[in-house]
């Protein structure tokens, strides 16, 4: 919900929290993973560099975890 909000700080914090959860747990429901990828790719097209960088980090972690499976 945070990453889909119009609030830039909410988006930024949401991506940081998700990145941390991926680092500690790594497992994610495929449906939620696909939704997260779509949201992060959309965020990369946005104007806020902080949100873009946080979204990019989430995508990198997802890709890294996919390679470990």
Confidence (pTM):
0.85
User: Could you read off the pLDDT of 12-56 as tens digits, one per residue?
Assistant: 999 999 999 999 887 788 898 999 999 999 999 999 999 999 999
The predicted structure's pLDDT at residue 3: 83
The predicted structure's pLDDT at residue 69: 42
Q: Are 36 and 58 a contacting pair, CB within 8 Å?
A: yes
Q: What DSSP line would sit under 14-50, residue for residue?
A: HHHHHHHHHHHT----HHHHHHHHHHHHHHHTSS-HH
Query: Using 50, 70 and 90 to split pLDDT, how confident is the model at 68?
Result: low
The predicted structure's pLDDT at residue 16: 95
């Amino acid at each position: 919900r945070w990453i889909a909000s119009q609030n830039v700080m909410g988006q930024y914090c949401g991506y940081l929290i998700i990145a941390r959860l991926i680092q500690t747990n790594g497992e994610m429901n495929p449906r939620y993973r696909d939704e997260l990828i779509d949201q992060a790719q959309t965020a990369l097209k946005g104007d806020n560099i902080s949100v873009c960088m946080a979204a990019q980090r989430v995508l990198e972690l997802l890709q890294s975890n996919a390679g470990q499976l």
